[in-house]
């Protein structure tokens, strides 16, 4: 089996490959093997693992990357960002009309107010779901995604079927995700680029009047901010 | 992802769904991802340049490619871009890879693999 390294979640679906799990010895050009084999002789690394290791070794030597900083970055994206940042933004917009206006007018600045700043200098655009319009986001080119607010994209977001189908048949994709949009509601699909990333503001569920921001944020799912889902209703939250 | 969303999403025949948020299937994927972000921060390339490089690899792979290969395309795009930029050339990368392979094979299991200098 592939052992988990700190800060990296290993998908349970990951095949038990012959890949040798390794971890770096801090600050040195050394790697520990965490895994045992049937044989007593030398270790074997997968071709891909060797490629990554070679690249990292050279980039460290050339001063482009610092091994400890790489681990910190992975940890940040895996454990500290996630969609919670986005949920806080949405809860703020639901409860503070002035913030909502700022978010719709200049999302980059409004998100920065909450100290969620991107690393790629992304220009953020917030699109609001209403009775009239349902928004969805995709990146047909690769998988540009609003990382500062949603963390890393889900696997399906990166998949060729999603990237192509959402443009051709957005309602069909929504139906696959269990979301039904009324016929007279327009469905808009926003194609992210390296420069512009979109964030969907889902509709605030009914029956949440007077709720705190923290409690409202619990209703905001990652998918609701991509547009492939809706916010959780108070009933669903209790179940 | 809420339980409801998760159950519904599982009905999808074609779009692969993860259980809960982003995952790296293997450690090398996280390393490749993090190196790319750090290189961008260092100004090695612009983000549009990276998006083009990755987009090109994904497009070449086609619509029916498995999402499992996503980070393989990512890695290939990174290798190519770094070679184009003369940051890490293909030759030195191959040499370094061979050195790691040799070092690994010479190291008993459970021991630290050290790259010979």
Split chain B (117 residues) into runs of 10 and give each run's mean pLDDT.
42 44 71 91 91 90 81 94 96 93 82 71
- With a pLDDT cut of 90, the percent of chain A lying above it is 48
Poorest-pLDDT segment among A40-49, A85-94, A193-202, B10-19: B10-19
Residue ranges of domains in chain A: 22-80, 82-238
CA distance A58 to chain B (A): 7
Query: Once rounded to an integer, what is the mean pLDDT over residues A68-97?
Result: 86
Q: Is residue B10 part of a domain?
A: no
Q: The tokens of B27 are what? A: 């450690």
Q: Which of A47, A41, A40 is nearest to A20 (CA)?
A: A47
Number of alpha helices (DSSP H) and beta strands (DSSP E) in chain B = 5, 1
Please name the residues between 115 and 154 in chain A that touch chain B, using a CB distance below 8 Å. 119-121, 141-144, 151-154
Q: How many domains does chain B have?
A: 2
Q: Which residues of B touch A218 (CB under 8 A)?
A: none
Q: Which of B32, B104, B108 to mutate to test the interface with A (most CBs of A within 10 A)?
A: B104
Look at residue B114 in the predicted model and tell me its pLDDT.
77
Q: Which residue's structure tokens are 């779901």?
A: A129
Residue of A237 and B11 predicted with greater confidence: A237
Tens of pLDDT along A16-43?
Answer: 332 333 444 433 444 444 444 444 456 7
Strands A186-191 and A22-24: unpaired
Within this chain, do residues B29 and B78 fall inside the same structural domain, yes or no? yes
Q: Nearest CA to CA, how far is A56 from chain B (Å)?
A: 7
Alpha-carbon gap: A90 to the closest alpha carbon of chain B (Å): 16
Interface contact A62-B42, CB threshold 8 A: no
Residue-level pLDDT at A5: 38
Instruction: Answer yes or no: do B62 and B33 share one domain.
Output: yes
Residue B19 lies in a domain: no
Give pLDDT, residue A120. Answer: 65
| Beta-carbon separation of B51 and A194 below 8 A | yes
Among the listed residues A188, A78, A190, the one whose alpha carbon sits nearest the alpha carbon of residue A125: A190
How many CA atoms lie within 13 Å of B55's alpha carbon, on the beta-carbon side?
Answer: 16
| Token pair belonging to A126 | 């917030």
In this predicted structure, what is the pLDDT of residue A202?
97
Range of the domain at B32: 25-86
**Which CATH superfamily groups domain A82-238?**
Nitrile hydratase alpha /Thiocyanate hydrolase gamma (3.90.330.10)
The pLDDT assigned to A121 comes to 60
The pLDDT score that the predictor gives to residue A231 is 95
B76 and B38 inside one domain: yes
* Residue B16: inside a domain: no
A10-24, A41-55, A61-75, B25-39: least confidently modelled range: A10-24
Nearest to B36 by CA among B66, B81, B68: B81
Tell me whether residues A161 and B104 touch, CB distance under 8 A: no
Compare CB distances from A73 to B38, B75, B107 and report the shortest one's residue: B38
Regarding predicted confidence, which is higher, A55 or A156? A55
Domain assignment present for B12: no
Model ipTM over 0.90: no
């Amino acid at each position: 089996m592939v052992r988990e390294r700190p800060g990296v979640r290993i998908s349970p679906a990951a095949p038990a490959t012959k890949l040798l799990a390794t971890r770096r010895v801090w600050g040195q050009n050394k790697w520990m093997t965490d895994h045992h084999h049937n044989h007593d002789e030398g270790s074997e690394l997968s071709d891909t693992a060797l490629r990554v290791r070679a690249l990292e070794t050279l980039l460290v030597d050339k001063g482009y990357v610092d091994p400890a900083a790489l681990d910190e970055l992975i940890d940040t994206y895996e454990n500290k960002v996630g969609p919670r940042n986005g949920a806080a933004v949405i809860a703020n917009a639901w409860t503070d009309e002035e913030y909502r206006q700022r978010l719709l007018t200049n999302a980059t600045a409004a998100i920065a107010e909450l100290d969620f700043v991107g690393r790629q200098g992304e220009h953020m655009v917030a699109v609001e779901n209403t009775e009239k319009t349902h928004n969805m986001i995709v990146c047909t080119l690769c998988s540009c995604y609003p990382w500062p607010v949603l963390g890393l994209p889900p696997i399906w977001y990166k998949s060729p079927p999603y990237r192509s189908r959402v443009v051709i048949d957005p309602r069909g994709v929504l139906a696959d995700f269990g979301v039904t949009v009324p016929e007279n509601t327009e469905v808009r699909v926003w194609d992210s680029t390296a420069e512009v990333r979109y964030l969907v503001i889902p509709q605030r569920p009914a029956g949440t009047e007077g709720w705190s921001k923290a409690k409202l944020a619990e209703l905001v799912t990652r998918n609701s901010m991509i547009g492939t889902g809706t916010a959780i209703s108070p009933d669903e939250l209790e179940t | 992802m809420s339980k409801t969303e998760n159950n519904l999403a599982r009905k999808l025949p074609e779009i692969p769904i993860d259980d809960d948020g982003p995952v790296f299937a293997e450690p090398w994927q996280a390393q490749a991802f993090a190196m790319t972000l750090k290189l961008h921060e260092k100004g090695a390339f612009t983000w549009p340049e990276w998006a083009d490089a990755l987009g090109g690899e994904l497009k070449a792979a086609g619509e029916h490619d498995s999402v499992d290969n996503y980070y393989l395309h990512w890695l290939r795009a990174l290798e190519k871009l770094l070679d184009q930029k003369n940051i890490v050339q293909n030759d030195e990368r191959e040499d370094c890879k061979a050195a790691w392979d040799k070092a690994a094979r010479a190291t008993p299991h459970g021991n630290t693999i050290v790259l010979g200098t």
